[in-house]
């Protein structure tokens, strides 16, 4: 298998399962998963305090070095989208045809990146209006694939979410 390199975005108050399930499933499948956050070496606590240490800063993360990006939920996406380099990285990976996979509140970042207009997507129901206002066609399904954009609603959807990510890789 030709292993791919995938960025997994982290920041404070991330949802544990939505970071660690993809991280280990990607590694298990022979890919390289890299925790990318605002600051390399900084440890970001999850919503319950579980630590994730950024292996690379978003300023170091070049879109051409990654085959895709996973955007976990929790409240981390609200913090992450405040960093122009995060939004730029996601937009560039998307424009190059790399996989952009967002789950739960990760939809905030794809809305901020401007990549959902005229696309079909899903997210956690509380941010449905954010995706719709960004131009997305919202559907309530466990996983939605629209080209290189993969979206899911919540942790219960992780098996379907990862099946589609691994299929595209």
Q: Is 79 considered catalytic here?
A: no
Q: Is the CB of residue 54 less than 8 Å from the CB of residue 86?
A: no
Rounded Cα gap, residues 16 and 18, in angstroms: 5
Q: Is 123 considered catalytic here?
A: no
What are phi and psi for residue 30, nearest 5 degrees?
95, 15
What are phi and psi for residue 95, nearest 5 degrees?
-65, -30
Residue of 79, 94, 104, 123 marked active site: 104
Using CA atoms, how far residue 71 sits from 20, 22, 160, in Å, is 12, 10, 15
Distance, first Cα to last Cα, the chain? 10
Residue of 31, 79, 105, 123 marked active site: 105
**Where in the sequence numbering do the catalytic residues fall?**
104-105
């Amino acid at each position: 298998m030709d292993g791919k390199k995938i960025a997994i975005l982290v920041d404070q108050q991330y949802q544990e399962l939505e970071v660690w399930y993809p991280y280990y499933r990607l590694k298990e499948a022979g890919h390289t998963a890299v925790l990318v956050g605002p600051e390399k070496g900084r440890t970001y606590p999850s919503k319950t305090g579980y630590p994730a240490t950024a292996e690379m800063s978003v300023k170091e993360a070049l879109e051409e070095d990654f085959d895709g990006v996973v955007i976990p939920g929790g409240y981390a996406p609200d913090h992450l989208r405040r960093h122009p380099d995060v939004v730029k990285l996601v937009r560039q990976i998307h424009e190059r045809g790399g996989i952009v996979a967002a789950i739960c509140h990760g939809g905030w970042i794809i809305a901020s990146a401007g990549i959902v207009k005229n696309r079909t997507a899903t997210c956690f129901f509380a941010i449905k209006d954010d995706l719709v206002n960004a131009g997305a066609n919202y559907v309530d399904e466990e996983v939605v694939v629209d080209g290189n954009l993969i979206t899911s609603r919540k942790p219960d959807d992780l098996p379907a979410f990862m099946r589609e990510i691994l299929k595209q890789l």
